[in-house]
A and B are shown apart, each in its own frame.
Chain A
């Protein structure tokens, strides 16, 4: 077992023997290293002013992704390369093409959000040398600017792509050296602490089961897009915290003939290509989960395990008929995913257990859809969300699974509405009947995201929308034609 956190920060190798579970990467950068280019705007992963790149090895390759340093725990940086705005240089030591484009297009006004935008655009520029408008807007979902109205920033993104130069970029040139340095960090269990505050990084999934057997009350932290806020906003103690985001055996995605099995540590971004291939109807829904930085950090397993009634993946996974595999030192068990959510704040996860994987049946001939509504289209929390999986023989509905988020204390199937669909003719009238029936399924709350009445209206309208879309008509708003 190691007792040292090891990672690369720009050009520097960092080794820390003292660190607490609550230490954030942002505080480390600003307070310990005086890298003040990275800003704190919100401390909850919603504004992007603290965006940095995290490079990590995935299946032998080094990937860089923008994440929010404010809710990234320092312990979870073990084995990573952290790149801050101070590290950006052009090949000639001057401005990087992304920076130069931001200057030339007047992409900064007050400048406080700017380093975060630069880092998100840098991540995009590396990954996608020819982004279109949709790719740019998607990459900027996690960055707020209050001054410019974004137009010059989007122009700068296009200009940076025109400028090119990826092959000369420092991170490209240095890729092998960095990869080798990260590879040299041994894959062993690491535990560090500050006083009583402990952070544990298991060596692999089996070791995770062991760690949890030893520490059944530990807080399991994957992407920290929610647990981060427990610390930054609610000042909660999470020690001992077990960090699992780095575990390669929880990051596997396995496709079989009729199902896909998703490791609990797979991030939203990592699953995106598979989703696009197998469930293209849910792509828009998927890209409404958080912003880019959140999707790069947050995991599907975490979203499920957390049990929140407003998580995006549970309605979709429930509708698709997914099963959950839980593991502990004693072994594994599987259950239908909807059975995991018992009541608000209570899930069927026993002490020592962790979510290991989620298995989702492929859709086959079923018609599927996923809808979400929120006050703002992107990077907002669900007011109401629904996912549909409907099987027909052409004329009659054979099976229907419809699950909702934001409508009850847990993600939940609409059983009355499902009953109104099953065995009925596949017609507008049937979906109209289901739209009426769903009123009996839920008694939603009124809060700052939506009133009860609005949520109920949305729930009904989702059925109408589903039917309309089955008619082949395009009834959705589009950002890009």
Chain B
């Protein structure tokens, strides 16, 4: 029986993040804040100082003799496998053996009384290398014949002869930069040895099961000897899906060797050097189109800087191809990925997982056509939008297109057409009168596929206990990195059980409670774990309802579980009812499970339905550019984004705003820069510039498409939100391009590469300046 009573913290309500009060008071514990057992030691990593070389000799005597040092670890000390490749390709040693493959690769570890001692001891190593040729970027790696780190993908649909037949053709090259995650909490792991072969690892990770498997693999013990805990992360963004592995494994290895707790937290600079980032791409594309702006065919090669090992580069480069259409129908298409091996840290997952790089190409193609035809790019966008029933390059039918309505509403709410005219007028005046400021405006969409393309990852578990006092313990396989997953899942449970959210205690994620979990990634956290928790609630409700019905001789339809339990005419408080159920020996614990339906994917044929559904959105951004320096401000951004029926509109809006600004940072001020020796020189916030409060749009109107309901039976008909709005930052990128294009009367696309730093903007202006 459905309850009509108000449930505090139910699904769809905008409640605050469960840890908000702890955050603002400094009482939220991160891994480095956990109480340390007596005798805790600290590990630090010694890193390669060349981009590629053979280790000729490694003299660690001075390291061993340094003050406070207890242990020095090298590859020879690893009892299990010296391999932390997340995809089982055995291409990523935990500690380098004979050969180092990038500047900053861990080659040894030191354990000392204090972190400072361990860090200083690392400096005393004397390592001689025979330096070998290296390649830092994807194109030079291709030219040097370094090959692929993993199998490439080809997507093909339609007759590519359409390219030849198209009335107009154009080709180009787009370089789109990488991105450092810059989670505010850097990587950290803190291991406590147990009896026998057991070890407990507290670690900042999005993927506890992965840590469990890696630590077991490195120690040479079964997975049941390893417990991995994470209460929360200080940000993840994909950077803690696999990149926590070296830190977790070294701390666990040291803890077992020394029988002491061991913590490993790299300095921010070392975190930058060791861990992988968003893949940067060089994309060579060709488009066939006609005078109306309709796209006939697209052909593209995606060269990605993958780093020295495969890590997650296979699925990342796959997803770049999956999103190379963004929201547009390509009648004929062929897309090829080239996951290039390079002598850099191994690039990895980052919000969007390759998708944004594909989307940037689609939007570049739209711009190219618009500038060639002298049209508003928005017209070209609308002309080429998918219609339901059309096939993507991977042969999935688009069935849930809602962008026409999103466009219509956003054009109205942002006053796009009048403002575009005002921008054109402003620039014309500036041209006449010699003003230094130019403006640009762009309205761009996103369509993003939701599901792990590795189909088996689309499963989740949850565990709910109701204790005999009526308090509820909620656990699931997802991890909390700020996105509010725990809050959302608790809301689902509160509503399903009809009880106040205050009854529900959210607990740390641990491999002890839910096994074989997937990474909290691919925006799938609440889709998967919410459903698993709902399944557990269903079991509990069924059991409790059957018990009440039987005990009171009332038909089950007349039983309703909630804060006030109704059994026929009788009412009793939840805790009293639970106590009764306990005394009657009813099982008050349930494990829930969920797997996403309908999806399948055949990578060999490049066909299937990898995505359960699509999430949509659009943004309109206006910028002003200082044409004497290339600097810019975002005058205004309007966003309309689709999260289906939002589980929590406040948290979802926070995801959209944060993703927009992060996406903007990726395409503007965030630049990774390696020197001639292959050393990353932008390795800390002093040199790597993520957006500040004063970089966000001056006027920022963010709305959720509150009319959208997921047509698939997802959790409460909501849609995933983590990644899709990241790509809305592309509107800023295109607006900058338009401001620059004003210098040649918008006759050609200036084709600024990403990131559009003030330097790139100014140099493009100088190129076009009459």
Contacts and interface: CB of A to CB of B under 8 A. Distances in A.
A39 B651 CA distance: 24
Contacts of B181: 146
B186 A450 contact: no
B689 A380 contact: yes
A39 B268 contact: no
Nearest to B15: A106
B16 A106 contact: yes
Interface residues of B, number: 88
Given A146-B662, A148-B658, A99 B24 contact: yes
10 contacts: A103-B21, A111-B232, A115-B25, A151-B696, A151-B702, A377-B631, A381-B687, A448-B681, A465-B628, A479-B698
A109 B182 contact: no
A85 B27 CA distance: 9
A27 B26 CA distance: 16
Interface string A370-381: 010111111111
Interface string B737-758: 0000000000000000000011
A49 to B, nearest CB: 6
Given A112-B185, A114-B23, A468 B436 contact: yes
A476 B757 CA distance: 18
Contacts of A98: 24
B234 A461 contact: no
Nearest to A31: B114
Given A111-B22, A375-B671, A381-B686, A106 B184 contact: no
Contacts of B233: 110
A141 B123 contact: no
A332 to B, nearest CB: 35
Nearest to A154: B693
A458 B629 contact: yes
Contacts of A147: 235, 482, 654, 658
Contacts of B123: 235
Interface in B25-59: 25-30, 32-33
Given A109-B658, A235-B119, A37 B692 contact: no
B267 A95 contact: no
A380 B669 CA distance: 11
Contacts of B673: 447-448
B88 interface: no
B29 A477 contact: no
A390 interface: no
A113 interface: yes
B758 to A, nearest CB: 6
A154 B657 CA distance: 13
A49 B33 CA distance: 14
A144 interface: yes
Given A110-B183, A477-B626, A376 B693 contact: no
Q: Closest 9 CB pairs between A and B?
A: A37-B26, A112-B234, A110-B482, A111-B23, A149-B661, A109-B482, A46-B685, A475-B436, A448-B673
B268 A141 contact: no
B437 A141 contact: no
Interface stretch (B135-143, B570-578, B759-767): B759-767
B692 A41 contact: no
Contacts of B687: 381, 448-449
B437 A144 contact: no
B763 A453 contact: yes
A167 interface: no
B437 A477 contact: yes
A233 B123 CA distance: 12
Contact of A36 (B33, B669, B682, B696): B33
Main secondary structure of the interface of A (DSSP, over half): loop
Interface in A347-406: 371, 373-381, 383
A108 B482 CA distance: 8
B246 interface: no
B408 to A, nearest CB: 25
A85 to B, nearest CB: 4
Contacts of A468: 434, 436, 628
Contacts of A38: 26
A85 B25 contact: yes
Main secondary structure of the interface of B (DSSP, over half): loop
B650 interface: yes
A463 B437 CA distance: 16
A102 interface: yes
Interface in A8-42: 27, 30, 35-42
A153 B693 contact: yes
Contact of A146 (B184, B434, B626): B184
B745 to A, nearest CB: 22
Contacts of A221: none
Contacts of A110: 183-185, 232-236, 481-482
Interface in B667-716: 669, 671, 673, 675, 681-682, 684-687, 689-696, 698, 700, 702
A271 interface: no
A152 B763 contact: no
Interface of B: 16-17, 19-30, 32-33, 116, 119-120, 123, 181-186, 232-237, 267-269, 434-437, 481-484, 624, 626, 628-633, 650-651, 653-654, 657-662, 669, 671, 673, 675, 681-682, 684-687, 689-696, 698, 700, 702, 757-759, 762-763, 766
A13 B123 CA distance: 37
A184 interface: no
A102 B693 CA distance: 15
Contact of B16 (A39, A43, A103, A449): A103
A454 interface: yes
Given A44-B684, A375-B758, A144 B629 contact: no
Contacts of B681: 447-448
Given A44-B684, A106-B651, A36 B26 contact: yes
A113 B184 contact: yes
Interface centre among B17, B681, B689 (most CB of A within 10 A): B689
A417 interface: no
Given A39-B234, A110-B235, A450-B759, A49 B20 contact: no
Contacts of B763: 453-454, 457
Nearest to A47: B685
Nearest to A38: B26
A111 B183 CA distance: 11
A149 B689 contact: no
A99 B682 CA distance: 33
A448 to B, nearest CB: 4
Given A110-B482, A375-B669, A465-B629, 13 more contacts: A44-B685, A84-B26, A103-B20, A110-B234, A111-B482, A148-B657, A150-B696, A151-B696, A373-B630, A373-B631, A374-B689, A447-B673, A477-B437
A141 B696 CA distance: 12
Given A110-B482, A112-B30, A448-B671, A144 B21 contact: no
A465 B22 CA distance: 49
B182 A144 contact: yes
B686 A95 contact: no
Contacts of A149: 657-662, 691, 696, 700
B502 to A, nearest CB: 16
A86 B184 CA distance: 20
Contacts of B186: 41
A266 interface: no
B216 to A, nearest CB: 28
A35 B27 CA distance: 10
